[in-house]
């Protein structure tokens, strides 16, 4: 979790109401005049949104602000950050309470782009953690490591094919060795990068107190999970990762398949798969949940998805509370 000072001195504020398909935007000038626009929530729409804001904002410094909405805001926020824009992704509850406190809305109003732009101007929320250069570099390193590991896996599969000529086997072994050297080098780079940034180091050190999470998984969580402050609860953080199904919690039919949200962050889900397998043996809250589901007749895949979700919720609790893991800690066990 990085808490950045807000020092961008913006004088143009763009509130964005994000949905699965669309971005409703409201650009607010320093004299409070507003202009609305609507864009598709796809790469071309993100580019159009930025051009529109720059044109209307003339040469002013722009601050974009959107609510955290599952994974729907992610691509747009990343696009703006990569184009050196000031971006804030805020917890919807904070916007909602601000609207009530300032008379911008009543208890049942959902924040829209206009309200979000007013909130952005009044509050100057901190910039999105994932937009900071050190987190962006960590994300790039971690995704590069994922690609190398995938590449190594492909070569191992090819080596295991029966009847390969010795010449091909030798070539594959050489290639695999090179990839493994590169994997070790990138792992070292990731470790050094985290150690050189105190906020990342503090959060990594907290995450590795959780049984099942070692350095590499901690790095992947820090690279792929936005600042936990933007999530109102551990359940919403789990939904962001696409780990928010349900019937394994409700105790209804165990025959229905567990559905994961495809819109969720796939990299984060993949990072939790093997650690959840370890946690099912050595992490008491995860083990209890897994055993209970298996005992009640759930299939292994459904129980494993639940274990992954539980592990992420525990990680959320540790980062949010800034307290190392304890099996009986309520933030982690009951969120």
Is 50 inside a domain boundary?
yes
Asked if residue 169 and residue 117 are part of one domain, the reply reads no
Are residues 217 and 325 both part of a single domain? yes
Rounded to whole angstroms, the Cα distance separating 188 from 185 reads 5
Considering the domain architecture, whether residues 227 and 301 belong to the same structural domain is answered as yes
CA distance 26 to 217: 38
* Largest separation between any pair of C-alpha atoms in the chain: 76
Angle at which helices 284-295 and 300-321 pack, to 10 degrees?
150
Which of 146, 173, 196 represents a domain boundary (last residue)?
196
**CATH number for 105:** 3.30.420.10
Chosen domain end from 78, 107, 131:
131
What's residue 228's pLDDT? Answer: 86
Residues 334 and 209 in one domain: yes
Same domain, 234 and 323: yes
State the DSSP string of 40-64.
Answer: ESSHHHHHHHHHHHHHHHTTSPEEE
Residue 126 shares a structural domain with residue 252: no
Q: Is 183 exposed, middle or buried (0-12, 13-18, 19+ CB in 10 A)?
A: middle
* pLDDT for the residue 149: 95
Question: Contact, 139 vs 224, CB < 8 A?
Answer: yes
3: in domain: no
Q: What is the pLDDT of residue 15?
A: 95
Q: What is the pLDDT of residue 323?
A: 94
**Statement to judge: residues 207 and 334 lie in one domain:** yes
> Is 66 within a domain?
yes
Print the domain residue range for 323: 200-335
Which residue carries 């390193």 as its tokens?
A: 141
Q: What is the pLDDT at residue 107?
A: 66
Same domain, 244 and 144: no
Q: Are residues 333 and 213 in the same domain?
A: yes
Other CB atoms within 10 Å distance of the CB of residue 10:
21
pLDDT tens, per residue, the chain with 335 residues: 433 444 456 789 999 999 889 999 999 998 889 999 999 999 999 999 999 999 998 877 899 999 987 667 878 988 898 888 889 988 888 888 898 888 877 666 677 999 999 999 999 888 887 777 888 899 999 999 999 999 999 999 999 999 999 999 999 999 999 999 999 999 999 999 999 999 999 999 999 999 999 999 999 999 988 888 778 788 888 888 888 765 344 334 444 444 444 557 788 889 999 999 999 999 999 999 999 999 988 888 889 999 999 999 999 999 999 999 987 765 443 33
pLDDT for res 214 = 95
5 assigned to some structural domain: no
Indicate whether 297 and 264 sit together in one domain. yes
- Domain count of the chain? 3
Determine, yes or no, domain membership for 273: yes
Say whether both 215 and 316 belong to one domain. Answer: yes
Q: Please state, in angstroms and rounded to a whole number, the distance separating the CA atoms of residues 189 and 27.
A: 40
Q: Which two tokens stand for residue 244?
A: 């928010």
Predicted pLDDT of residue 255: 44
246 and 215 fall within a common domain: yes
Q: Which of 131, 154, 188 is the last residue of a domain?
A: 131
14 strand-pairing partners = 27, 64
């Amino acid at each position: 979790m990085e808490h950045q000072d807000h020092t961008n001195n913006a004088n143009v504020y763009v509130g964005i109401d994000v949905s699965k398909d669309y971005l409703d935007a409201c650009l607010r000038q320093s004299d409070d005049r507003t202009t609305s626009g609507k864009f598709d929530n796809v790469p071309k729409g993100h580019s159009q949104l930025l051009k529109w804001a720059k044109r209307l904002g003339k040469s002013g410094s722009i601050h974009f602000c959107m609510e955290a909405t599952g994974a729907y805001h992610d691509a747009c926020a990343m696009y703006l950050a990569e184009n050196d824009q000031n971006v804030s992704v805020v917890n919807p509850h904070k916007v909602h309470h601000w609207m009530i406190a300032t008379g911008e809305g009543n208890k049942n109003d959902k924040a829209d782009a206009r309200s979000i732009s007013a909130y952005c101007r009044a509050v100057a929320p901190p910039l999105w953690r994932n937009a900071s250069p050190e987190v962006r570099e960590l994300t790039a390193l971690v995704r590069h490591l994922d690609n190398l590991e995938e590449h190594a896996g492909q070569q191992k599969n090819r080596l295991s094919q029966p009847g390969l000529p010795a010449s091909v086997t030798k070539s594959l072994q050489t290639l695999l060795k090179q990839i493994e050297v590169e994997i070790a080098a990138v792992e070292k780079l990731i470790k050094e990068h985290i150690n050189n940034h105190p906020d990342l180091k503090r959060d990594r050190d907290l995450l590795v107190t959780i049984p099942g999470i070692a350095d590499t998984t901690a790095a992947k969580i820090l690279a792929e999970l936005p600042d936990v402050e933007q999530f109102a609860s551990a359940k919403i953080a789990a939904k962001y990762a696409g780990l928010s199904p349900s019937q394994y919690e409700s105790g209804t039919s165990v025959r229905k398949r567990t559905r994961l949200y495809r819109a969720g962050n796939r990299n984060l889900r993949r990072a939790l798969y093997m650690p959840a397998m370890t946690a099912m043996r050595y992490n008491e809250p995860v083990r209890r949940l897994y055993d209970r589901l298996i005992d009640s007749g759930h299939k292994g895949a459904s129980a494993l998805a639940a274990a992954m979700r539980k592990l992420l919720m525990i990680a959320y609790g540790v980062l949010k509370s800034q307290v190392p893991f304890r099996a009986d800690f309520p933030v982690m066990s009951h969120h």
